[in-house]
Chain A
Amino acid sequence: MKCIIIGGNIKVLGRAVHSLSRIGDELYLEPTENGVWGNRRGWELWGPQCPPLSDTHPVCPQLSLRSINSSRSAFASFLFAPLFFQRYEAGGPELFRCKVLMKSFLGVFRSLPSLEKTVEKCLILLKAQLSRLVVQLHCKYGVTKTHNLTFQECERLQAVFDTQQCASRLQAPAQLLAEAVVHFPPALAEVTLRVDAGGKISLRNYVDEGEPTKMMVTELCLAKEEFEAVAAVPDSHITFCLREFRGLLSFAEASHLPLSIYYDAPGRPVIFTLDDAVLEVNLVLATLSDPESSSQHPTSNGVSHIPAPPDDFADDLEAYMIAMETSAYEESSRDPPTPSFPLRTPQPPPSDPNEEDEEEEGGAVPGTPPHKKFRSLFFGSVLTPGGPNPAPVQEVLAEDSDGEY
C-alpha cells in the first residue's frame, strides 16, 4: 500500500488522526480496493467471497482509518476517496490491513500548525517485508521526517450499522453543535439529545440516579431553524457519551461540513456522519437504553442478545469489561476477535466452533448488561480471504436486502 497526500489534505489527515485518538488506543489502517464509494446504505460485511464486481461497482481504491474504544462502545472511521490523495495504490494481490499504536501515529501528526506550515508532502507506505509502516513527511527547506512504525496485522474492524434503519435524523452545521457542547463541563460523561413532542430540540446532561437536587443540570435548547434538516420522531431521545463525540466535533468544525445525526430507540447506536466529495466520516456510539425497555428483544433490525443471564449474575461491570478485553486480545490472524457480545439475529446461533471457543475463553458472556450500562456495539469480524477458517459466520446486525447471509 502506498499513498501520497499533498497540500491542505495533510492537515485534514492530521486532524482525522487527532479525532481518532480521542476514541481508541490503536489506529486501524485499511486500504481497500473493491470499495463501493459512498455506500452508506448498509455497510456490507464482506465474507471471504467478495461480492462480484459488476459494471455498477467500479474498482475504487480507498483508505480507511478506524478506531474503536476499549469498551467497544465507540467506533469511528474516516474513509478517504482516491481523490483525496495525489497518488494511491492499494497494492498487492492480498489486501494488507494493520493496526498501529495510536500514540505512535499521532506523534507523527502531533503539531497541526507545523503540519500546515512546513509539510509539503506526506507519504504513507506499507513495507510488509520489513514489518514497518513508513510515514514520511517532506517539509520545507529540504527537511524530510521519516517514521518507521511497527504495526500488527489485524482483523478487519467493522461496526455494523445502517443509517437507513434509524428512525430519526438531524443535520446541522458542526458549529452549532460545537457551540452547544461548549456549555457542558469538560468532565461530563453523558448527554441526552431530545426532540420533544412539539419538535423542540434540546441537549441536556444526563444525570445518573443520584441526588438530582445536588447535581447541576444544564439544558440547552436549539432552534429548529438552525438545523439544516430535522426528520426526527417526536418525543424521542438518545443518550450518548460526550467525550468521543467532542473528538469528531472538532474535526467537523474545522472542516466546515454539516454533521448528520442518525438515531433510533434508546439503546440502539447513534451514528454521526460527515460527508464530502473525498471523505466520509462515521462515528458510531453506543447509547444508554431506557430502564423500561431493558428487556426488549427487538426484531431482526435490532440489537438482540443472548438470552438473559441468570439472576445471580451480578451487576459486575468489571467482569463484563474484562470479558470484552480478553476476547479482544485474543486476536491473531487465525481467530476472529469476536467480542463477547456477538450480535445475533434471533436465528439459530452460528455454528462456527472456533468462535464459540473464543467466547468461552473470554469468560462468562454476560448477556444483557444491567439496563443502566451502555450496550456495546456489535462488530462483525471478517476473516481475510483464504484464512484457515473456511466458512466463518458473520454476526449480522442489519441484514442486507439480498439476505445473502
Chain B
Amino acid sequence: ASLDNARHLSSLLRAVHFQDHATCFATNNGLRVTVEDAKCIQANAFIQAEIFQEFAVQEQTVTFRINLSVLLDCLTIFDTSSLPGTSTALKMCYRGYGYPLMLFLEEGGVVTVCKINTQEPEDLLDFDFCSTKVVNKIILQSEGLRKAFAELDMTSEVMQITMSPDKPYFRLSTFGNAGSAHLDYSKDSDLIEAFHCNQIQTNRYKISLLKPSTKALALSCKVSIRTDAQGFLSLQYMIRNEDGQICFVEYYCCPDENITEEM
C-alpha cells in the first residue's frame, strides 16, 4: 500500500491508540486497525482502500498483531505534523505470516526504512452490533460534545447515558465527588442531526474506558451514538482528513455491571 500523506493514516491510528498493541486486518476494502482493553472496550479505525494511492492485498484477508506505539512512532518519524504543505509519503509492505511489516517513509528526499515485527493476532471481541439490533440512535455534530467530554467530572467512575423519546431526550451524567452533573441535549437542538429514540434507556459506562474516545471526537465532525437492547454502546465518528476524504473510527463499549444506587 502506498499513501502520499502518512498523516492520513497516523492521525486515525492515534484516535484509537489507547493500548500498545493493535490488530490489523487488511482486505480489498481497506485497512482496519483494532485496539481492545479489558474485554470491555474496542476501538476500530477504518481506512478504505480509496484513501490510498495504491492498495493491493494478495489473499482474502491479511491479519497480524503489531505494536501500535511503535507503528505510530515510525509513521511520524519526520514529525511534519505541524508543518502545512509538507507531508511524508508512505509505502507499506507485508509479505505474509511471520514477516515484519515494512515501512518506507520519504520526506524531502530523505528516506527512512522501518521494519516492525508482527505477532499472532489475538481473538477479538465481536460486539455483534448490527443496525437491526439498535434500539436508540442519535447523530450529533461533534462540536457539541467536545466541550462536554473535556469538562467531564473525572472524579466520577461512570458516565451515564440516557436516551429517551421524551425529556430529557439525551443526557450525559456523572456522579463525582462534588455531586452529580447532567448535560442535557434537547432533541430540537441544532447540534442534533438525527434523533431516533424508541424507548427510554439509561446505561452506565466506566468513564475511564470512554475517555480515550475523546481523541476520536476531537478529529471528527459528526458522531453517531447507538445503543442496543443489552446496553452496549457504539460510537461512530466520521472523520474528514486533510484532503476531504472520509474515514470512520468506531468505539464499542460494554455497560458497567456494578450499578449502585445513586442519590
B20 / chain A contacts, CB cutoff of 8 Å: none
The 5 A-B pairs with the shortest beta carbon distances in the complex, nearest first, are A104-B178, A142-B186, A142-B189, A144-B184, A149-B179
How many residues from B make CB contacts under 8 Å with A? 21
Do A144 and B186 contact each other (CB < 8 Å), given the known contacts A103-B178, A130-B263, A132-B179?
yes
Measured between alpha carbons, how far is A150 from B155 in the docked complex, in Å? 14
Known contacts A107-B178, A114-B147, A141-B185; 8 additional CB pairs below 8 A are A101-B178, A141-B190, A142-B185, A142-B187, A143-B186, A146-B183, A146-B184, A147-B182
Given contact pairs A114-B147, A141-B144, A143-B144, A148 touches B179 in the complex (Cβ within 8 A)? yes
Contact with B along A142-160 (1 / 0, CB 8 A): 1111111110000000000
| Interface set of B (CB-CB < 8 Å, partner A) | 144, 147, 151, 153, 177-192, 263
Contact A142 B179 (CB under 8 A): no
A-B pairs with beta carbons under 8 Å apart, 13 shown: A104-B179, A107-B153, A107-B178, A114-B147, A142-B188, A143-B184, A143-B185, A143-B191, A146-B181, A148-B182, A149-B179, A150-B178, A150-B179
With an 8 A cutoff between CB atoms, is A243 at the interface? no
- State in angstroms the CA–CA spacing of A147 and B153 once bound together: 10
Nearest CB in chain B to that of A147: its residue: B181
Cβ of A296 < 8 Å from any Cβ of B? no
| Chain A positions within 8 Å of B190 at CB level | 141-142
B contact residues around A144 at 8 Å (CB)? 182-184, 186
For residue A110, CB closer than 8 A to chain B, the reply is yes
A86 at the interface (CB under 8 A from B): no
Q: Which residues of A contact B188 (CB under 8 A)?
A: 142
Q: Evaluate whether A148 and B183 lie within 8 angstroms (CB atoms) in the complex, with A130-B263, A141-B189, A142-B190 already known.
A: no
Q: Please give, as numbers and ranges, the residues of chain B lying within 8 Å of A145 by CB-CB distance.
A: 181-184
Determine the chain B residues whose CB is within 8 A of the CB of A111 once the complex forms. Answer: 147, 151
Cβ-closest chain B residue relative to A114 = B147
**Which chain A residues lie closer than 8 Å to B185 at the CB level?**
141-143
CA gap between A143 and B188 in the complex, in Å:
10
Query: Which residues does chain A contribute within 8 Å of B186, judged by CB atoms?
Result: 142-144
**From residue 112 to 161 of chain A, which have CB atoms closer than 8 A to chain B?**
114, 130, 132, 141-150
What are the residues of chain B within 8 A of A103 when measuring CB–CB? 178
Name the residue of chain A whose CB is nearest to the CB of B145. A143
A223 to chain B: closest CB distance in Å? 44
Please name all residues of chain A whose beta carbon is closer than 8 Å to the beta carbon of B191 when the two chains form the complex: 141-143
Q: Max chain A CB contacts within 10 Å: which of B151, B181, B189?
A: B181
Q: How far is the CB of A372 from chain B (nearest CB, A)?
A: 38
What CA separation (Å) do A132 and B179 show in the bound complex? 8
Q: Is the CB of A148 within 8 A of B189?
A: no
Residues of chain A with a CB closer than 8 A to B189's CB: 141-143
**Can you list, as one digit per residue, whether each of A84-116 has a CB less than 8 Å from chain B (1) or not (0)?**
000000000000000001011001001100100
